[in-house]
Amino acid sequence: QKEVEQNSGPLSVPEGAIASLNCTYSDRGSQSFFWYRQYSGKSPELIMFIYSNGDKEDGRFTAQLNKASQYVSLLIRDSQPSDSATYLCAVRYSGAGSYQLTFGKGTKLSVIP
Amino acid sequence: EPEVTQTPSHQVTQMGQEVILRCVPISNHLYFYWYRQILGQKVEFLVSFYNNEISEKSEIFDDQFSVERPDGSNFTLKIRSTKLEDSAMYFCASSPTGTTEAFFGQGTRLTVV
């Protein structure tokens, strides 16, 4: 059973601060890792993906992956009120023709003006 | 920017009725997926579709469900004899390959009464 765990939050940060969102996964065969943002009542919107150990930066967002610890994180710098949403971690195993995403329950982020 | 489109945005149906949810994936994508999200719960994988056949399905995707690509653009999810517990947001997604990022449509909210 592939599990993806996230702290449900809410995580509250002041505007301009760094928000740190964390995710752990159970299957060591997992190969691809994704962060989606979901506003209430809306669909998941892809923010970043990461495949290799280390950091990947895109604008205000940095994804960090540590496969040995089965841990992936998302840092949001200079947080804005518009970043307030639920952030979903998704993991893809990609073994034996499996391409499905396994999602965590999401962390609700609230950026306080 | 290309996007996945879903229709209808909201569907209300009576228990026991059949519904068809429609999706137009991004045009050059080869892999198509259906996910669902029951209110307040995590996004769950239903089925993936590649080369005009189901490539993977979850335990949720039982005989009540079927998928079809009736032409070169549409991808449908049929739910036969709907039950109250089928009420959820249903998301269609597509990806260029099985290992790259998946993009989600805006979803169809299915309400079974």
Contacts of A97 in chain B (CB under 8 A): 55-56, 98
What confidence category does residue B107 fall into, taking pLDDT thresholds of 50, 70 and 90? Answer: very high
Instruction: Give the closest of B35, B101, B107 to A34, CB-based.
Output: B101
pLDDT in tens, B8-35: 999 999 999 999 999 999 999 999 999 9
The DSSP secondary-structure symbol of A63 reads: E
Tell me the C-alpha distance between A108 and A50, whole Å: 21
**A102 has a chain B CB within 8 A of its CB:** yes
Phi, psi at B63, each rounded to 5° = -65, -15
Inter-chain contact B42–A105, Cβ cutoff 8 Å?
yes
Q: What is the pLDDT along chain A (113 residues), one digit of tens a residue?
A: 789 999 888 999 999 999 999 999 998 888 899 999 999 999 999 999 999 999 999 999 999 999 999 999 999 999 999 999 999 999 998 777 778 999 999 999 999 99
Inter-chain contact A99–B95, Cβ cutoff 8 Å?
yes
Question: Chain A interface, mutation test: which of B9, B43, B60, B92, most A Cβ atoms within 10 Å?
Answer: B43
Inter-chain contact A97–B95, Cβ cutoff 8 Å?
no
Which H or E element spans position B33? strand B31-37
Residues in chain B: 113
Q: What is the mean pLDDT of residues B92-100?
A: 91
**A106 has a chain B CB within 8 A of its CB:** yes
Q: What is the mean pLDDT of residues B34-49?
A: 97
Q: Which of B87, B31, B83 is nearest to B55 (CA)?
A: B31
What pLDDT, on the 0 to 100 scale, is given for residue B30?
93
Instruction: Give the closest of B43, B98, B107 to A99, CB-based.
Output: B98
What pLDDT, on the 0 to 100 scale, is given for residue A93?
83
A25 Cβ partners below 8 Å, 6+ apart? A2, A3, A4, A5, A33, A70, A72, A89, A91, A102
What pLDDT, on the 0 to 100 scale, is given for residue A8?
86
**Across chain B, what does the average pLDDT equal?**
95
Instruction: Give the closest of B35, B55, B101 to A49, CB-based.
Output: B101
Residue A10, preceding peptide bond in cis (omega within 30° of 0): yes
Tell me the C-alpha distance between A36 and A83, whole Å: 12
Tell me the C-alpha distance between B95 and B109, whole Å: 22
Contacts of A48 in chain B (CB under 8 A): none
Q: How far is A111 from chain B (nearest CA, A)?
A: 21
List the 11-70 stretch of A: residues with Cβ below 8 A of B.
Answer: 31-32, 34, 36, 42-46, 49
Burial class for B76, CB neighbours closer than 10 Å (0-12, 13-18, 19+): middle
Q: How far is B12 from chain A (nearest CA, A)?
A: 16
